[in-house]
A and B are shown apart, each in its own frame.
Chain A
Amino acid sequence: MGEAMVALQMKQVSKRFPGTLAVDHVDFAVKKGEVHALIGENGAGKSTLMKTLAGSYNDYTGKIFINSQEVTLHTPLQAKQQGIEMIYQEMSLAQPISIAENILVGRLPRKGLFLDNKKIISQSKKLLERVGLSHIDPKIPISEISQHEAQLVEIAKALGNDPHILVMDEPTSALSREEVNTLFSIINNLKQQGISIVYISHHLPEIFEVADSVTVMRDGKIVGNHQICDVTSEKLVEQMVGRSINEFYSKRDANIGEVMLSVKDLSRYGFFHNVSFDVHEGEIVGICGLAGSGRSELARSIVSADPTDDGEIYLEGKRVKGKNMNAVMREGIAYMTENRKTEGLALRMSVEENLLAAMIPELSVGLIYSRKRGKKPMGDLIEKLNISAPSTNSMVSNLSGGNQQKVLLAKWLAIKPRVLILDEPTRGVDIGAKMHIHHVIEDLANNGHAVIVISSDLPELVGLSDRSMIMRNGHFIGEIGKDELSEDTLLLAANGEGRS
């Protein structure tokens, strides 16, 4: 490896948090113009390592070289000056501010003393075009666009800075396949220009698609470094998890019983119209669709988290009467949100409090809450989902993303609802954890519960569900049975090219 070829070199870099050594004497190098994948389990330290590079921490130890020059990266500004840009795992846009200003933050074009408004709009429009958002007015605030659009805006923002090194921390977790394709072509383009990219993802197929080389992290250390052509996905998984995982999706013998949940002509005008379907006891039903097809809205309306304009819902033949989520939950339907940070977890509360949040009424005797009664379910859940946290008292915000996701899931498993709707249950979760989560979901179904899984992860839908329903533009356009279920059929159907 020629010296000149190395864009970034980190030597013996460590970063400690109270109670954890998140990055443990890491040596990490990226060549000019390569896409370097960084993978590892949840909590392995990927984000922390990259945030160190992006100047988030002023107390890391070790040395960082950019183009063979030693640099100190104690503030994001210092990192930016070195041409380092990062797209963060957790959305980092200012909601009330316009898209244009979010994209150009810190370097708004000026004319003399004052801002050049025309240029602001034209520059941001150009960047939006690059990520396929040409239809969006850059003057509107972020709060008015959807999450996947915001993710693209984030990418546009990073591109605008003309980085030499671009770090992408799970950029595709909220994107549709099409948008992922756009992203990949952008990445290839950047590569041509000699820009180095660090790409963090839990989707191994993506990595084989886009990366040139890959580094594997485990427990804060580097455990492997390969050219992509020299390695197989099995090998990577083994390095990540520390053991080999042979079979991703065990074939489950579904024991499907009576109709459990029956949705009749449900509509929320402007979001989804006339949706009808049944879910049976012991069944796992997938809902597939492109981002924005109205899947989440449908689920939220079913549990009355959002209003409904028309239609009925029956649970085991009885009309669901609850007018708010809490009443519907009591009748036996629960929904796990896709927005872990903003709606799923109370980040400033402890693991224990989050785990048991939905269970409070069950754990209470009359009006009195019994903490003792929560101990056992909590222990069981932590074990079942293999949640790794410094302690049950630590704040959830200090957990890695994947572990947060597990806490969120555990919160819903805890109440054992008759019907559980899971919205993107494994978003941002590592392969090992994903396996656990899948097993848990299957367990639930095997015990006679009904599960609805909304996921953009097609292999997950194919592997997990007994049948899958397709949503497009707010309508149910049909379902695909287990035998026909494959990534291709799903994709075709969701895009409106398959059967309907």
Chain B
Amino acid sequence: MRKVKEKGSKGISYFVDKYRIFILFAILLIISIAFAPNFFNAFNLTSIMKGASLYIFLAIGMTIVMICGQLDLSVQSVMNLGAVLVIGLRTWSGFGWIWSILIAIAAGAAMGLINGLIVTKGKIHSFITTLGTMTITSGLVFLYTHGGSISTEGDFALGDLMDQTLIPLFTLRVIITVVAVLVFSLILNRTRFGRAFYMVGGNKDTAWLAGINTNRKITTAFIISGSMAALGGALFAISQNSAVPNMGTKGISPLMVAIAATIIGGTSMAGGKGGVFKSFVAVLTIMIIFNALTCFGTGYEVQVFANGLVLAAVVLYEALAIYRADKIKGIRTELLKEVQNK
């Protein structure tokens, strides 16, 4: 039997690779704390997390969908759907908050279900499917609101509660967000149900042959994505006491932030790799960049540029890492020593 050193040795590059998002986060945080005026205080940090909340809900779904090897471009429209429904049902139809929220989530889940069914049964690439449903959902949202926005008409109670700082730094909405992240992290990492998503993304045939209902799994991922997007939109709308039908149709949209964060967090578009918690940290990282740049008083163009640069750097880093790994894959260390000894 040939002698092989135990594989997967944990060198420094391995460490950097595995925890790169945390390192990036820490570096940017420290730089911002050190240099950005008005950055490091409770008020601003809370504000960053409040801002991150919306994107995190999109990123949760995006991450799970990408782990399955799919893509969900409809999250932003679904987010708007959740937002207008929760306020519309409350204000126009007189539902209670609980019901409004539940129906909004259900509507998001329904959109996810449709996405999932088209992708799995219709066998249409998720990029295409969700591009289509994105348009459809946005049409539905406008139809519902007649193109305008909806407000709670002076009912600020729940909105204020959402924005209340319950624990230092954490408002209720942020707490819900963090809980959602933790729950989904736990599910993905520590349950059979969650690991199956990775299997499906890693190799659909393997998963299917192992008895996993891959179609159902992918559909579930889309349902989670849809309902989380709707919930994120709904919570945002509640804390805003109003809902806007067209968020993100211009500028760096929440959709782009969610995709960028998911990638920066290390989830692979090819599927089978990634995690919700990392995406969460990645969203915070992007928010820190935006926030700190505003603190410096730079214009929006610098923020776009910085966002692009980070994204580009991460993509390039990833590509080079794979390139390097490919090059040394299967290298035999005992043979290498031979050269070094010479």
CB within 8 Å of B: which residues of A? Answer: 54, 56, 75-77, 80, 86, 88, 92-97, 101-102, 105-106, 108, 110, 113-115, 132, 135-137, 139-140, 143-146, 178, 267, 269-273, 290, 292, 294, 297, 307, 473-474
Which single residue of chain A is at the shortest CB-CB distance from B333?
A: A270
Which single residue of chain B is at the shortest CB-CB distance from A178?
A: B1
Which single residue of chain A is at the shortest CB-CB distance from B1?
A: A132
Query: Contact: A292 with B203, CB < 8 Å?
Result: no
Docked CA distance A477–B120 (Å): 54
Query: Contact: A95 with B202, CB < 8 Å?
Result: yes
Residue in B7, B186, B206, B271 whose beta carbon sits within 8 Å of that of A102 in the complex: B206
Which single residue of chain B is at the shortest CB-CB distance from A269?
A: B339
Query: Contact: A115 with B202, CB < 8 Å?
Result: no
Whether a CB of chain A sits under 8 angstroms from the CB of B122 is no
Stretch at the interface among B209-217, B239-247, B307-315: B209-217
Whether a CB of chain A sits under 8 angstroms from the CB of B173 is no
Interface residue ranges of B167-208 to A (CB < 8 Å): 186, 190-192, 195, 198-199, 201-203, 205-208
Docked CA distance A94–B205 (Å): 9
Q: Name the residue among B7, B186, B191, B333 with the largest chain A CB count within 10 angstroms.
A: B7
Q: Which residues on the B side are within 8 Å of A307 (C-beta)? A: 327
Q: How far is the CB of A494 from chain B (nearest CB, A)?
A: 12
Q: List 15 A-B contacts (CB under 8 A).
A: A77-B213, A92-B203, A94-B202, A95-B202, A97-B202, A102-B206, A114-B191, A132-B1, A136-B6, A273-B335, A290-B2, A473-B332, A473-B334, A473-B335, A474-B332
Q: Using known A-B contacts A76-B208, A106-B211, A136-B4, determine if residue A94 contacts B199 with beta carbons closer than 8 Å.
A: yes
Query: Contact: A146 with B202, CB < 8 Å?
Result: no
Q: How far is the CB of B174 from chain A (nearest CB, A)?
A: 26
Query: Contact: A271 with B335, CB < 8 Å?
Result: yes
Q: Which residues on the B side are within 8 Å of A139 (C-beta)? A: 8
Docked CA distance A185–B113 (Å): 49
Whether a CB of chain A sits under 8 angstroms from the CB of B31 is no
Query: Contact: B338 with A273, CB < 8 Å?
Result: yes
Which single residue of chain B is at the shortest CB-CB distance from A267?
A: B339
Which single residue of chain B is at the shortest CB-CB distance from A268?
A: B331
Docked CA distance A131–B247 (Å): 56
Q: Using known A-B contacts A93-B203, A137-B8, determine if residue A108 contacts B1 with beta carbons closer than 8 Å.
A: no
Which single residue of chain B is at the shortest CB-CB distance from A144?
A: B7
Q: Using known A-B contacts A135-B6, A273-B335, determine if residue A94 contacts B272 with beta carbons closer than 8 Å.
A: yes
10 cross-chain pairs, A with B, having the tightest CB-CB distances, nearest first: A94-B202, A77-B211, A270-B331, A140-B8, A96-B272, A94-B203, A106-B210, A105-B210, A97-B202, A270-B336
> With contacts A94-B272, A110-B191 known, what are 11 further pairs, Cβ within 8 A?
A88-B209, A108-B192, A140-B7, A143-B329, A146-B330, A269-B335, A269-B339, A270-B335, A271-B331, A271-B332, A307-B327
Query: Contact: B332 with A101, CB < 8 Å?
Result: no
Q: Which residues on the A side are within 8 Å of B339 (C-beta)? A: 267, 269-270, 273
Q: Which residues on the A side are within 8 Å of B278 (C-beta)? A: none
Q: Which residues on the B side are within 8 Å of A76 (C-beta)? A: 208-211
Which single residue of chain A is at the shortest CB-CB distance from B6?
A: A137
Q: Which residues on the A side are within 8 Å of B333 (C-beta)? A: 270
How many residues of chain B have a CB within 8 Å of chain A? 43
Query: Contact: A95 with B328, CB < 8 Å?
Result: no
Query: Contact: A105 with B336, CB < 8 Å?
Result: no
Residue in B1, B201, B206, B268 whose beta carbon sits within 8 Å of that of A105 in the complex: B206
Q: How far is the CB of A68 from chain B (nearest CB, A)?
A: 24
Which single residue of chain A is at the shortest CB-CB distance from B4?
A: A135
Q: Using known A-B contacts A95-B203, A97-B199, A106-B211, determine if residue A270 contacts B191 with beta carbons closer than 8 Å.
A: no
Q: How far is the CB of B113 from chain A (nearest CB, A)?
A: 22
Query: Contact: A97 with B335, CB < 8 Å?
Result: no
Q: Which residues on the B side are within 8 Å of A269 (C-beta)? A: 331, 335-336, 339
Query: Contact: A113 with B191, CB < 8 Å?
Result: yes
Q: Which residues on the B side are within 8 Å of A145 (C-beta)? A: 7
Docked CA distance A136–B6 (Å): 6
Q: How far is the CB of B318 from chain A (nearest CB, A)?
A: 13
Q: How far is the CB of A4 from chain B (nearest CB, A)?
A: 28
Docked CA distance A110–B6 (Å): 27
Q: Which residues on the A side are within 8 Å of B186 (C-beta)? A: 114
Query: Contact: B211 with A115, CB < 8 Å?
Result: no
Q: Which residues on the B side are within 8 Å of A132 (C-beta)? A: 1
Docked CA distance A336–B186 (Å): 46
Docked CA distance A294–B329 (Å): 12
Q: Which residues on the B side are within 8 Å of A115 (C-beta)? A: 190-192, 195
Which single residue of chain B is at the shortest CB-CB distance from A179?
A: B1
Docked CA distance A94–B207 (Å): 8
Whether a CB of chain A sits under 8 angstroms from the CB of B50 is no
Docked CA distance A297–B332 (Å): 12
Q: How far is the CB of A161 from chain B (nearest CB, A)?
A: 9
Q: How far is the CB of A324 from chain B (nearest CB, A)?
A: 15
Q: Using known A-B contacts A146-B330, A269-B336, A270-B335, determine if residue A101 contacts B198 with beta carbons closer than 8 Å.
A: yes
Q: Which residues on the B side are within 8 Å of A137 (C-beta)? A: 6-8
Q: Using known A-B contacts A96-B273, A273-B338, determine if residue A144 contacts B203 with beta carbons closer than 8 Å.
A: no
Docked CA distance A113–B193 (Å): 10
Docked CA distance A95–B329 (Å): 14
Query: Contact: B199 with A101, CB < 8 Å?
Result: yes
Query: Contact: B272 with A144, CB < 8 Å?
Result: no
Q: Which residues on the A side are within 8 Å of B329 (C-beta)? A: 143-144
